[in-house]
Amino acid sequence: MREPPLLELRGISKTFPGVKALDDVSFSVYPGEVHMLLGENGAGKSTLMKVLCGAYKADLGQFFHHGKQVQIDSTAAARELGIAVIFQEFSLVPYLNVAQNIFLGREPSGYLPGTIDLKRMHVQARRILDQLGLSLDTHTLVHSLGVAQQQMVEIAKALSQKARILVMDEPTAALSDRECERLFSTIRQLQADGVAIIYISHRMAEVFSMGDRITVLRDGRRMASLMTGDATPDQLVQLMVGRSVDMSYARNFCAEPGELLLDVRNMSASNGVHGVSLKVRVGEIVGLAGLVGSGRTEVARAIFGADRVTAGEIWVCATRFAGGPEQAREAGMALIPEGRKTQGVALTRTVSENLGLASLPKTFPNHLFDPRKARQIAQALIQRLRIATPSPERNVQVLSGGNQQKVVIGKWLQAGSRLFIFDEPTRGVDVGAKAEIFALLDRLVAQGASVLMISSELSEIVHVCDRSYVMKDGTIVGHLQRAELTEERVMHLAVGQGSI
Amino acid sequence: MNDTQVARPLMRLITHVPGVTWVLLMLILVFSSLSGNFLRAGNLANIGEQSVVLLLLALPMTFVIMTEGIDMSMGAVLSLTSVVLASTLVATGSIALALSAAVLIGLAFGVFNGGLASWLKLPPFIVTLGTMGVAQGLALVATDGDSIIVGTQLTRLYTTQFLFLSLPMWLAILSYGAFHVLLQRTRFGTYVCAIGGNRDALTLAGVSAGTYHVAVYALSGAMAGMAALVLTARLSAGHPSAGIGMEFDAIAATIVGGTSFERGKGWLLGTLLGVVAVGVLRNGLNLLNVQSAVQVSCIGLLVIAALLFDGLKDRA
């Protein structure tokens, strides 16, 4: 090719305790190029971004800037090279104004040391905003701006740093169609000015309309780099999916599901999900798949009554359900949240105490705690769920992740729950514990419970669920039966490629 | 200055209309109707002068709270520096030397607080609660609990008039101006806001947030030393318990003024109004012969009232 790339990464590796987040990744970007970065949740995109902006230091690998070897070992070094990253959570300060945010850390100096030349700062901010075609007042406090405008401020901030390499993490995730168009025209303008853009996206339409080149990551490895013209959506999906980990979970798939346990009809909620309809029957494990941010957790929270339902109906066991978490518990629902250590168990309390926590009123109707009875119940649950703990009196803290998860499940079993809503049940547990958790779920549903399982790992959805719903942009975009449940199909729906 | 520049702060003031303004107006109404002496010029001047110490404390407290922190040690450090100032003055006869000693001791406590809070990431409440005990204890040990009477030299300075105002009032005005400039026109002020608002953003921008964070607490300590000058002059003595509870008033004035413990939201003019509100409340209650312990309860109610106003406004 023509001149050397503006930035080239060779053989970048980064390991975290227990995980190889990046494995020998090479990647380059040319001036005026939009390089699309694709990958499943957890494929290593965010780690790569953090390495690029100097927040993480790569364990191995080299960086070349204009063909010359350089180091990126700090955020300052990355900035020096003209690399600017726009994260999804903005790096803006809410109670500073637009100009102060654009120039944070690089304020033009005034006459006295430590002072800021406000006039010059606002004039320069104005110039950058004009360049982007924005009419924002530079004195506006950022917290009063909408998401799209905040993003523009982020871009302005990057440009003010004379950024030549702009990294954007799913920039359209929170934008309306019109705002997207605005962003795209800005990107094209930047491109024309010779800025190199690394663009992370899940949306196929964007990938093909904006990208010059596409790189696909999976499990921390680069699967391929293609020119957009040579790529097809099917091919990209193929490259993205297919975890290498062995996935043979013992699962007795449910041939004849029982009565309808949960029936959500056209539900919309204050947290942004809309038009969601789903059914869960006794004896089923139903998946809720989708990319991070597609609204899966929000659906669970709305069903459980933790967020307000604004339209539609929820029926539990043929009874209309309307109410908060307490009513949900009484109706036999259990929401097992993603943050096991923060929301699931009380880490510094004992196994026995944790197991009894959700069923205290039931176990001790006269409000007096009986430690012996609590221990008996705990013993029974420990045996039934095969929780590996030295004794019921040990703190949950010392248990493995998988066993902690079992404690959470046990807690709800004791409370009489029949419908378990799991949000990422295997987050942070090792492979062995995963298999054990799924075996437990299998037994649970065989005994007359049912499970709605949110998971970001496609392989789990595919190998464990009887059927699965797929979410995108706050609503359900597909429903796959056991026979049609493949990683490719789920991914196609999740990225908005329609059904195949 | 053109129209928009003048109009902007004015508009902001009007659109904000924070709880503190209503609270202050209400207090003035209540006290002027209950006590004929309240609105006399002499009494108003009195309120102003009594509020100087509190303002000198509430200004840095506003910065500390903007960083999502708190300085519980302020009152105790004020006591200690007041004692240090008085004894240095008695020993050397030099006000400049005495003030320097007080400010330096305050600064040292501030750096210690800030260092533990910022570099060791200990919770500011606990850290400053600890130093509060340390400073208070030192003040009592150093004096055996007695006052250190200072000569008339300091009192004369306190009552000196200059351009219609007493020197403490000028100190208050200058301090407010300095803090305003600090917050609006310097890197330090911008970063104070950013530490509370989005510390990661500041760090990613290559700014050593830790240093500025420590500086905020250092400023807080140094200002306690500065306030000790006014307090000692007003009492004509350094007293080891003179500052007890002042951190409560300073926090109250800051919160009443609309500064938030979250996201780096702070407002100095609000703090000024909050200080005046606390001053008016104390003065009015004094005029009505309400005992000091009950006054503390009233300040507590004042805080809740101001938060309530703001809460109602947010909901409207």
Q: What is the pLDDT of residues A462-486, one digit of tens each?
A: 888 889 999 988 899 989 888 888 8
The pLDDT of residue A151 is 81
Residue from the list B184, B198, B265 with its beta carbon closest to the beta carbon of A91: B198
For residue B316, pLDDT over 60 is answered with: no
Mutate to test the interface with B, among A104, A106, A150, A153 (most CBs of B within 10 A): A104
The pLDDT of residue B85 is 93
pLDDT band with cut points at 50, 70 and 90 for residue A41 = low
Distance CA A213, CA A224 (A): 10
For residue B15, pLDDT over 60 is answered with: no
Distance CA A97, CA A368 (A): 56
The pLDDT of residue A52 is 86
Identity (one letter) of the amino acid at A163?
A: A
The pLDDT of residue B9 is 64
For residue A500, pLDDT over 50 is answered with: no
CA distance A118 to chain B (A): 7
Sign of CA dihedral B227, B231, B232, B234: positive
Please report, to the nearest 10 degrees, the dihedral formed by the alpha carbons of residues A277, A282, A283, A284 taken in order. 0
Chain A residues close to B8, C-beta within 8 Å: 139
A141 part of contact set with chain B, CB < 8 Å: no
| Beta carbons of A94 and B266 less than 8 Å apart | no
| Beta carbons of A55 and B204 less than 8 Å apart | yes
Sign of CA dihedral B146, B152, B154, B158: positive
A53 part of contact set with chain B, CB < 8 Å: yes
Chain B residues close to A91, C-beta within 8 Å: 198, 200-201, 204-205
pLDDT in tens, B191-204: 999 998 888 888 87
Find out whether B24 and B283 touch, Cβ atoms under 8 Å: no
Find out whether A43 and A37 touch, Cβ atoms under 8 Å: no
Residue from the list B184, B186, B201 with its beta carbon closest to the beta carbon of A93: B201
pLDDT in tens, B162-213: 888 888 899 999 999 999 999 989 999 999 999 988 888 888 777 888 999 9
The pLDDT of residue B108 is 96
Chain A residues close to B262, C-beta within 8 Å: none
Residues A449-484 as b/e (b if ≥16 CB within 10 A, e otherwise) read: bbbbbbbbbbbbbbebbbbbbbbbbbbbbbbbeeee
B185 part of contact set with chain A, CB < 8 Å: yes
ipTM over 0.95: no
B16 part of contact set with chain A, CB < 8 Å: no
Sign of CA dihedral B204, B207, B211, B214: negative
Q: What does the block give as tokens for B68?
A: 């999502």
Helix, coil or strand: residue B258: coil
pLDDT band with cut points at 50, 70 and 90 for residue A498 = very low
pLDDT band with cut points at 50, 70 and 90 for residue B1 = very low
For residue B29, pLDDT over 70 is answered with: yes
B313 part of contact set with chain A, CB < 8 Å: no
Burial class (CB in 10 A: 0-12, 13-18, 19+), A80: middle
For residue A499, pLDDT over 50 is answered with: no
B6 part of contact set with chain A, CB < 8 Å: no
Give the up-direction half-sphere exposure of residue B239: CA atoms within 13 A in the CB hemisphere: 12
CA distance B160 to chain A (A): 31
Burial class (CB in 10 A: 0-12, 13-18, 19+), A350: buried
Q: What are phi and psi of A95, to 5 degrees?
A: -100, 25
For residue B3, pLDDT over 50 is answered with: no
Mutate to test the interface with B, among A93, A109, A143, A144 (most CBs of B within 10 A): A93
Q: Using a pLDDT cut of 90, give the percent of chain B over it.
A: 45
| Beta carbons of A75 and B203 less than 8 Å apart | yes
Distance CA B194, CA B13 (A): 22
Helix, coil or strand: residue B207: coil
The pLDDT of residue B14 is 52
Q: Which of A42, A40, A48, A49 is nearest to A22 (CA)?
A: A48
Can you count the helices (H) and strands (E) in chain B? 13, 4
Nearest chain A Cα to B186, which residue? A115
pLDDT band with cut points at 50, 70 and 90 for residue A45 = confident
Output the CA–CA distances (angstroms, integers) from residue A422 to A226, A298, A303, A321, A328, in the order listed.
37, 12, 12, 19, 14
**3-state SS track over chain A:** CCCCCCEEEEEEEEEECCEEEEEEEEEEECCCCEEEEEECCCCCHHHHHHHHCCCCCCCEEEEEECCEEECCCCHHHHHHCCEEEECCCCCCCCCCEHHHHHCCCCCCECCCCCEECHHHHHHHHHHHHHHCCCCCCCCCEHHHCCHHHHHHHHHHHHHHCCCCEEEEECCCCCCCHHHHHHHHHHHHHHHHCCCEEEEECCCHHHHHHHCCEEEEEECCEEEEEEEHHHCCHHHHHHHHCCCCCCCCCCCCCCCCCCCEEEEEEEEEECCCCCCEEEEEECCCEEEEEECCCCCHHHHHHHHHCCCCEEEEEEEECCEECCCCHHHHHHCCEEEECCCHHHHHCCCCCEHHHHHHHHHHHHHCCCCCCCHHHHHHHHHHHHHHHCCCCCCCCCEHHHCCHHHHHHHHHHHHHHCCCCEEEEECCCCCCCHHHHHHHHHHHHHHHHCCCEEEEECCCHHHHHHHCCEEEEEECCEEEEEEEHHHCCHHHHHHHHHCCCCC
- B258 contact partners, CB below 8 Å, separation of at least 6: B16, B18, B19, B20, B265, B267, B270, B274, B306, B310
pLDDT in tens, A437-450: 888 888 888 888 88
Residue from the list B184, B185, B205 with its beta carbon closest to the beta carbon of A105: B205
pLDDT band with cut points at 50, 70 and 90 for residue B72 = very high
Mean pLDDT of B249-276: 88
Superfamily of domain A260-495: P-loop containing nucleotide triphosphate hydrolases (3.40.50.300)
CA distance A109 to chain B (A): 9
For residue A375, pLDDT over 70 is answered with: yes
Alpha-carbon B28 to chain mean position: 21
Find out whether B72 and B125 touch, Cβ atoms under 8 Å: yes
For residue B17, pLDDT over 80 is answered with: no
Chain B residues close to A106, C-beta within 8 Å: 205
Distance CA A423, CA A301 (A): 10
Q: What are phi and psi of A281, to 5 degrees?
A: -105, 160
The pLDDT of residue A245 is 46
pLDDT in tens, A249-302: 667 776 677 888 889 999 998 888 889 999 999 888 999 988 877 888 889 888
**Whole-model pTM?**
0.71
For residue A18, pLDDT over 70 is answered with: no
Residues 75-94 in A contacting B (C-alpha not used; CB under 8 Å): 75-76, 79, 90-94
Q: Using a pLDDT cut of 70, give the percent of chain B over it.
A: 92
pLDDT in tens, A167-187: 888 887 767 777 778 888 888
The pLDDT of residue B272 is 93
Mean pLDDT: which of A96-110, A341-355, B71-85 is highest? B71-85
Domains of chain A by residue range: 7-240, 260-495
For residue B315, pLDDT over 60 is answered with: no
pLDDT in tens, B107-155: 999 999 999 998 888 999 999 999 999 999 999 998 888 888 887 888 8
- H or E stretch at B238: strand B237-238
The pLDDT of residue B158 is 82
Find out whether B82 and B243 touch, Cβ atoms under 8 Å: yes
| Beta carbons of B204 and A75 less than 8 Å apart | yes
Helix, coil or strand: residue B147: coil
Size of interface A-B (CB pairs under 8 A): 70
| Beta carbons of B204 and A53 less than 8 Å apart | yes
Distance CA B156, CA B255 (A): 34
Chain A residues close to B200, C-beta within 8 Å: 91
Mean pLDDT of A157-166: 84
Distance CA A491, CA A236 (A): 10
Find out whether A326 and A320 touch, Cβ atoms under 8 Å: no
- H or E stretch at B252: helix B246-256
Distance CA B200, CA A105 (A): 12
Residue whose token pair is 């090479």: A26
Residue from the list B8, B188, B193 with its beta carbon closest to the beta carbon of A93: B193
For residue A367, pLDDT over 50 is answered with: yes
Q: Which CATH architecture has domain A7-240?
A: 3-Layer(aba) Sandwich (3.40)
Mean pLDDT of A154-167: 84
